[in-house]
Amino acid sequence: MTSVLDLAPVVPVVVLDDPADAVPLARALVAGGLPAIEVTLRTPAALDAIRAIADGVPEAVVGAGTVVSAAGVEDAVAAGARFLVSPGWTGGLLDAMTASGLPFLPGVATASEVVALLERGVREMKFFPAEAAGGTAYLKSLAGPLPGARFCPTGGISLASAPDYLALPNVGCVGGTWMLPPDALAARDWGRVEALAREAAGLR
C-alpha cells in the first residue's frame, strides 16, 4: 500500500457512536477525495464502524486510531483496519504494531521520541497534539537535525492552519476533524461532509 502519509493531504479523524453512520460517512469522505479515514477506538461502536467501512466501502483505506495496547492492535486488525495510529508509544505497543504487518503511525511529541523511533527503524509518525506541542515552528525545527522523520500532525489543526503544516518538508499529511462538524453529523448531512472533504482534499 502507498504510505498513509501520501494517500491524501488530510486524514479525517472520525469518532462514531453509531456504526450505521460509518458507511455513508466513509462514502462522503471518499467522494470528496479523502480516502484515508482514521476511526478512533474511543467509542464502543468503533470496531463495528471499521468493519462496516472495510466491508462496504472498499475504495476507502480505513484505519484505527487511538490504538494504545496490543489488544487494541489485535482488535483493529480483526475488524479490517488497514493502518494503525497511536497517540503515543511504548516498546510493547510498537512491537505489537510492527508484528501486525500493517502500516502504522506511532505518536510523538518530543525530539527524543522521534530519535527513539528512528533508532527502531520507524520513519513515519504522528505528531500529537500538534498545536499544543509546538505546531509548525516545532516541526520546522526538527527537519534539520532529523530529516529522516516524516509526520502526520494531528490535534487542533484547522482548514486555516493546515496549509502551513503541509508546506513543511517533513509533513506528509495532517489529521483533522474540521470536515466533520458535529451538526452535520447529527443531521446526517453527508452532502455537506463531502463538500468539506473536497475543500480539504484541494489543499495540495
Among all chains, which residue has been given the C-alpha cell 527503524? 121
Amino acid at 66: T
pLDDT digit string, tens, across residues 161-189: 999 999 999 999 999 999 999 999 999 99
Spot the catalytic one: 126, 131, 140, 199: 126
Spot the catalytic one: 38, 119, 194, 199: 38
CA distances (Å), 153 to each of 26, 92, 202, in order?
21, 23, 18
As a whole number, the mean pLDDT across the chain is 97
Interstrand relation of 124-127 and 150-153 (parallel, antiparallel or unpaired): parallel
CB 128 within 8 A of CB 105: no
Among all chains, which residue has been given the C-alpha cell 534539520? 144
Angle between helices 22-31 and 46-56 (to 10 degrees): 50
pLDDT digit string, tens, across residues 90-138: 999 999 999 999 999 999 999 999 999 999 999 999 999 999 999 999 9
Neighbouring residues of 70: CB distance < 8 A, sequence distance ≥ 6: 92, 93, 95, 96
pLDDT digit string, tens, across residues 61-84: 999 999 999 999 999 999 999 999
Establish whether 140 is a catalytic residue: no
Q: Is 78 exposed, middle or buried (0-12, 13-18, 19+ CB in 10 A)?
A: exposed
Going along the chain, which residue ranges are E strands?
Answer: 10-14, 36-40, 61-65, 84-85, 104-105, 107-108, 124-127, 150-153, 174-176
Question: ω before 129 within 30° of 0 (cis)?
Answer: yes
Q: Is the pLDDT of residue 196 over 90?
A: yes
CA distance 196 to 177: 10
CA distance 93 to 17: 26
Establish whether 38 is a catalytic residue: yes
